[in-house]
Amino acid sequence: MSATITKKYSYGYDAHEEEGKGPEGMIQEILEDLEFPMVTELIIGDWGLSYTESSQPIIDDIVANADKFSHVEKLFIGDMDYEECEVSWIIQGDYGKLWAALPNLKELTIKGSTDLDLGEICHENLEALTIICGGLPQYIIEQIEKAKTPKLKKLLLYIGSDDYGFDGDSKTIKKLLENADFPELEYLGIVDSEIQDELAKVVLESKFMSQIHTLDLSCGTLSDEGAQEILEKLPQYPNVKTLDVHYHFMSQDMVKKLGELSISVDASEPNVEDHYNGKVYKYAMLTE
């Protein structure tokens, strides 16, 4: 098994302003890098004003040079922090042609959902799909629902807020989990939601619970209500070895009860709800 060689390529604000660098020339610059032929994990960071220019030229140039990217097994497009670009501002692109262009790709991570389109997802070797965003549109969820990825082992979706792109509800996620066909799925993450209690119930009732070893319900507004569902239903699935609920709104008592489960539990990063004008506010970890 060959070692993973990772390299990140990124243009900051200065590179864009002073040198005119942007998404149109990034792939050509990557191909000119003498180290690139050894890279198996390719990370694309800020492509220069990512909040005004989309990733489409990057995607198109990868597709146009598919033979030169055949050694890439892991691809992350949009790896940037909030100081470079808020996640809700990242302008993504259409990945529809990428699936056929990179048949050896095993892991794809995308950050940002503005203008994102996954197209018809069909890939024989993809093992992990992660979408990090402040709000995941319903049409993207439906595209994943129809995906033909027989070897997919990990699915991690940041659901986010309706203020930043999520236009579905718990029924949307229930439909996804009912219709999706991922026979080898081992890691299921439905995270970063402002309706995390509702989604926890949906996930715990899904068909995938009998096959996964990692359940990720982190980064959202999970409270004692959702945690109680976990306590009652998770023991039915001895195949689940890891539970991730970090960043939550559970009580200390509930955290203690979850910690008594005979599995690995991450219940770190407790949060306290806000009160304003008689209303209670809880926020997911990543939105804007």
Burial of residue 142 (CB within 10 Å: 0-12, 13-18, 19+) is middle
CATH fold of 1-117: 3.80.10
d(CA 273, CA 251): 11
Contacts 24+ apart (CB under 8 A), 18-24: 21/48, 22/47, 22/48, 22/49, 22/53, 22/57, 23/47, 23/48, 23/53, 23/54, 23/55, 23/56, 23/57, 23/58, 24/57
- What element of type H or E holds 173? helix 170-179
Q: Which CATH architecture has domain 130-288?
A: Alpha-Beta Horseshoe (3.80)
Sign of CA dihedral 224, 229, 235, 240: negative
pLDDT for position 124: 98
d(CA 266, CA 244): 5
pLDDT for position 18: 64
pLDDT for position 2: 58
What is the DSSP code string of 76-142?
Answer: EE----TTT--GGG-B--B-TTHHHH-TT--EEEEE--BT-B--S-B-SS--EEEEE-SB--HHHHH
The residue among 241, 252, 249 whose CA lies nearest residue 281 is: 249
Helices H / strands E in the chain, number of each: 9, 12
Q: How far is CA 143 from CA 149, 158, 172, in A?
A: 12, 15, 12
pLDDT for position 81: 94
What average pLDDT does this structure show over 16-28?
Answer: 81
Using 50, 70 and 90 to split pLDDT, how confident is the model at 278? Answer: confident
Domain spans in the chain, listed from the N-terminal domain onward? 1-117, 130-288
What is the pTM for the complete model shown?
0.96
Q: How many CB atoms lie within 10 A of CB 151?
A: 15
d(CA 88, CA 249): 23
At 163-214, the pLDDT tens digits run 999 999 999 999 999 999 999 999 999 999 999 999 999 999 999 999 999 9
Kindly state the tokens that stand for 187: 């890691």
Rounded (10°) CA dihedral 143, 242, 239, 183: 20
- Phi first, then psi: what are they for 192, rounded to 5°? 60, 40
Tell me if domain 1-117 and domain 130-288 are identical in fold: yes
pLDDT for position 213: 98
According to DSSP, the residues that pair with 243 across neighbouring strands are 215, 265
